[in-house]
Amino acid sequence: MHSIKKVAVIGSGVMGSGIAAHLANCGIPSYLLDVVPPDLGKILKAKPAHLYDADDIKLITPGLLDQNLEKLKECDWVIEAIPERLDLKKELYKKITPYLRNDAWVSSNTSGLPFHELKFRDKFCITHFFNPPRYLKLVEMVGDAPELAAFIREKLGKGVVRAKDTPNFIANRIGVFHVYDCLHKAAENGWPVEVIDKVMGPATLHPKSAAFRTCDIVGLDTLSLVAKTCYDGCPQDECRATFKNPEFLDKMIEKKWLGEKTKSGFYKVVLRPFDPSTSSGLRVSGAQDERGAKEILSINLQTLEYGSQQKFRADSLGKVREITDPAEKIRTVVFADDEAGKIAWSLMSNMLLYAANRVPEISDSIQDVDHAMRWGFNWEMGPFEMWDALGVATVAERLQKEGRVVPALVQDILKKDGKFYPKPSLTFLKSRKESGGVVETNAGGSVVDLGDGVFCAEFHSKMNAIDGDVLEIINKGLARAEKEGQGLVITNEGENFSVGANLMLILLTAQQKDWNQLDFIVREFQKTMQAIRFSKKPVVAAPFNLALGGGCETCLSAAHIAAAAETYVGLVEVGVGLLPAGGGCKNMLLRWEERMRENHNPKDKIWFSPADGGPFPKVQKAFELIAMAKVATSAKEAKKFGFLRKNDSVVLDRENLTEAAKQKVLELSKNYAPPLPSEKIQLPGLGGEMALTNAVHGFLIKGEISEYDAFIGKTIAHVLCGGDKPSTHYTDEQHLLDLEREAFLKLCGEEKTQARMQNMLMTGKPLRN
């Protein structure tokens, strides 16, 4: 596994470039070769970003294949990612064979061509990455390559499933059937595309893109080719006819209405005339500015005309908004006696039957099938997990009443204990909780014993917003760790680590003008953040996905951060008219002071002498991040921004995050000493504040910010520069916390800040007022 030091990717299209970029994300150099010069600029401009850090582009060496065949001798793994034509692939394999080392692996990224026709050497397999490779965890492997599979899992952070040599392998076979079933049923029943998407989205454990939106993202032409592979290659499939294009799909492809890439598919974005009467400047269907309002139209499958989306409501869809348990959620919709239930049962039961009939044809493992659908299509549960959640016996009984055949695999399960997973596999944190590890709990979180003297403060408030209950759990976790343990992990297994403080609570308190209560809330938050920072035992924060505002401040207070690679972190309070007041301003100053000290030339007698710019550079960096609400789009980029330190950990596989954080606590606990409070933080005073204020004024004159943005910017500058001190001076942490709190309360009293908070709560989008 560890012998793979260099890779060659042949084919610089969407997939080849994406694979090379992800190798670079993981620190693995590669050659990106093609018959035309590969354009690295496309990788740098890709949306969403292919790279964790744009600087890693240097790990990719582009070149023409014919001029660089000798380079293949350097490579431990050669990945072929050229167009899906068997003749082209065979011709390529013939060309590169003389240059391959005997111990090197070669794999094809084909999404469906037969393995037995591609194989040309012993060390050959299929490694089908899903697009985009950075974001989707799934790699389907056909062929026996255990050491390569281990490398892909451990060094690339991917989930590998073993697939059989059948058309479209596992995920696309089931996923495309499910999508095409939605297409056919929509036409047969007259169900609008937006109605199906409302039902077949998160309410039934699918991603937000649901069915038709997913088609637009993939591209209708690409989807059609994948379906044709199934139709042509699976003559014995009992549902073969489902893989034929509906008439409307052929017409859309003929018209070049292919989805996102042609700006028209099942959905289309249009601009409506500007409507000044909308007070917030926003509509449900899209944002509005001086050019007009964006509206997302949907297509009528009968007329192929675009129109406004139909409003669709169902009792079951309303109920699931308040349900967090996935099993309860899917039962609520699929078994509902309403229109959503009718749609869900029709489509979900077909998919469940199809998946059960594919084992052992496409895989011998129901776990691999479930993993493939979760990792490749972003389902919250795989099909066999869904069978269990709905109740195998309950589903089978209803199918029989409808005169449908129950698959042999399901009948075998019913003869045993009636579940595909008698003991469902649990994540590390859930397994600790199931085994009695919860030692403290309240409405906002739990303290969980992770074993070996390590405790976990787990959030489970709504959206993991930080409120009094969450702070109480953190403090109880700290007390447990200091009294009877080795340290504390702060994490959870929700959709996001934390989106910030409880904004509703702050807004209501501000509207009631209860300034004493608001002052108390902020003081308690600051106290808890400082308790994390100065804990006698190490605290490791383990963020993932969104770690914004107060979630970011929690991480900044920890002794160490073990972040999932896909972590989006930032101090974004200006978006709601506020500034960080849980130590965020103070800790960003300390982070940049620490970084600049590391970069300081030790031969200089005075650190930060006037010639070096004095204390202003660190203030300027902190100001840019806070005032511009910069969000790092990966854990790696967060290191560049200073949200993470250089020695903080990056964990490629989020499923390993809690356990990795626990191991870091144990490592740190061996000789841990908490930091001492910083009592000599050098700040520039009013001179620095004036410099930042002038910069803000420049943005205002150019029309890049509003007057209220400028007001907030000046308030942030006042805090970061040390308040009313006239010149360069030293201060301590508490003084900065006091300045943060005073400024926060002042902004909360402003009408425009309250409008920004209210708009964010109502629409989920920032208001520029």
pLDDT score of 274 more than 80: no
Residue 290 pLDDT: 47
pLDDT score of 607 more than 70: no
Phi, psi of 518 (to 5 degrees): -65, -40
Element (DSSP H or E) covering residue 327:
helix 326-334
pLDDT (average), residues 197-216: 97
Q: Give the distance from CA 589 to its chain's centroid.
A: 28
pLDDT (average), residues 400-423: 95
pLDDT score of 608 more than 80: no
C-alpha span between 545 and 378 (Å, rounded): 14
pLDDT (average), residues 208-228: 96
Residue 613 pLDDT: 57
pLDDT score of 112 more than 90: no
Residue 423 pLDDT: 85
C-alpha span between 638 and 645 (Å, rounded): 8
Per-residue confidence band for 275, with pLDDT thresholds at 50, 70 and 90: low
- 3-state SS class at 446: strand
Mean confidence (pLDDT) of the chain: 94
pLDDT score of 196 more than 50: yes
C-alpha span between 374 and 655 (Å, rounded): 13
Residue 287 pLDDT: 43
pLDDT score of 605 more than 50: no
pLDDT score of 763 more than 80: yes
Residue 282 pLDDT: 31
Residue 597 pLDDT: 83
Per-residue confidence band for 191, with pLDDT thresholds at 50, 70 and 90: very high
The answer to whether the beta carbons of residues 493 and 427 sit under 8 Å apart is yes
C-alpha span between 618 and 104 (Å, rounded): 48
Residue 292 pLDDT: 58
Per-residue confidence band for 252, with pLDDT thresholds at 50, 70 and 90: very high
Residue 463 pLDDT: 85
Report the share of the chain in percent with pLDDT over 90: 91
- Which tokens belong to 725? 């001190």
- 3-state SS class at 245: coil
pLDDT tens digits, residue range 47-83?
Answer: 999 999 999 999 999 999 999 999 999 999 999 999 9
pLDDT tens digits, residue range 539-574?
Answer: 999 999 999 999 999 999 999 999 999 999 999 999
List Cβ neighbours of 508 (8 Å cut-off, separation of 6 or more). none
pLDDT tens digits, residue range 2-26?
Answer: 589 999 999 999 999 999 999 999 9
Residue 289 pLDDT: 45
C-alpha span between 495 and 577 (Å, rounded): 25
Higher pLDDT, 227 or 608: 227
pLDDT (average), residues 739-756: 97
Q: Give the distance from CA 245 to its chain's centroid.
A: 32
pLDDT tens digits, residue range 662-721?
Answer: 999 999 999 999 999 999 999 999 999 999 999 999 999 999 999 999 999 999 999 999
**Which amino acid makes up residue 283?**
R
pLDDT score of 300 more than 70: yes
The answer to whether the beta carbons of residues 687 and 620 sit under 8 Å apart is no
pLDDT tens digits, residue range 675-690?
Answer: 999 999 999 999 999 9
